[in-house]
Structure 1
Amino acid sequence: MDFKIDIPTDSEGFYSLECPYCNERFKANADDYEGEDTLELFCPSCGLVGERSSFIPKDVIEHAETLAANFMQQEIFNSFKKTSRKMKGSGISFDMKRPKAEEPKLLTEDEDLVQIELHCCDKIIKVNIDQMISNVYCPFCGVN
């Protein structure tokens, strides 16, 4: 059984990311983030490095967990529904109600982010305007 959950991008194709150390939010282009050579990311704010998957924001993980739980509940319900049909006439019965799907957490966009071009890797990221005042580390090579 395959179940795929896509991480949403903004209208310009950028993933919302969050530093696992300082919790600062930023965005990186989906193609750059998913590139085969991108195994780790540096936080543009604090400069600490981590696995790229560790930068997926908590709200996106919660959203994905809710979608996965809803899918599994539906699959279990469908399985028991088929079993109850096969058991008709055997003297054993059980009744199951369709599970109520939990509403996934709404994902909001970070509107106060500005694009900056990183000349070291020739990439564009989006950071908070406050970060522009200080040095910005490149998420891909760590240069600031």
Structure 2
Amino acid sequence: MRVSKQISIEFPDDGGMIGRECPRCQGRFTVDRERYEDSGFRNLRCPYCGFIAELDRFMTGEQRGYAHSVQQGELYDLAEEMLEEALSDIGFESTGGIDFGGTPTESPQFSTETELVECGECGFCFGTEVGREGVCPVCR
């Protein structure tokens, strides 16, 4: 039996900015995710070293850990449901339910202080680490 479930995980802060970390130089920055997606950009560029990849390649370590925790929780829930259903099908009724012990994890907060920048070329808003210069992550 093959089961598939799509999970959407969002990380934006109160201002709609989402923290990113370059997998090459570990530089941290923020981007306006909604505007990024609405504009149809396919790739993101590190404002510090110029590394180019898809947006999800720039997840922070904390975000990856959280995503893994959410996936694990969903897997536990699915396994519990499937086991309860299988036991019910053979006439075994569980009064207490089945619990594999998954624990919820709080969404990570982006801990790097950034300065908001608006690109003079394309108008895209992004944040760079305080005191660190960077170029627009979307326009070439």
TM-score band w.r.t. shorter chain: 0.7 to 0.9
Contact 1:40 1:49 in 2 (8 A): yes
Partners of 2:112 and 2:42 in 1: how far apart? 27
> Which residue does 2:111 correspond to in 1?
110
Partners of 2:37 and 2:59 in 1: how far apart? 12
Percent identical pairs in the alignment equals 17
> Which residue does 2:51 correspond to in 1?
48
1:87 to 86, 90, 95: 90
* Number of residue pairs aligned between Structure 1 and Structure 2: 133
Once the two structures are superposed, the pairs formed by residues 57-68 of structure 1 within 5 Å of their partners are: 57-68=60-71
Alignment of 1:8 onto 2:8: no
Q: Which runs of 4+ in 1 moved over 4 A?
A: none
Partners of 2:24 and 2:112 in 1: how far apart? 22
RMSD after superposition: 2.1
TM-score (norm 2): 0.83
TM-score (norm 1): 0.81
Deviation at 1:106, TM superposition (A): 4.7
The change in CA–CA distance for 1:111 and 1:57 in structure 2 (over 3 A counts) is: closer
Q: Which has the larger radius of gyration?
A: 1
The 3-state SS of whatever aligns with 1:84 is helix
Gaps of 5+ in 1: 90-95
Residue by residue, what CA displacement relative to the aligned partner does 1:68-93 show, whole Å, maximum 9, x if unpaired? 1111111111111121122137xxxx
> Which residue does 2:28 correspond to in 1?
25
Contact 1:5 1:64 in 2 (8 A): no
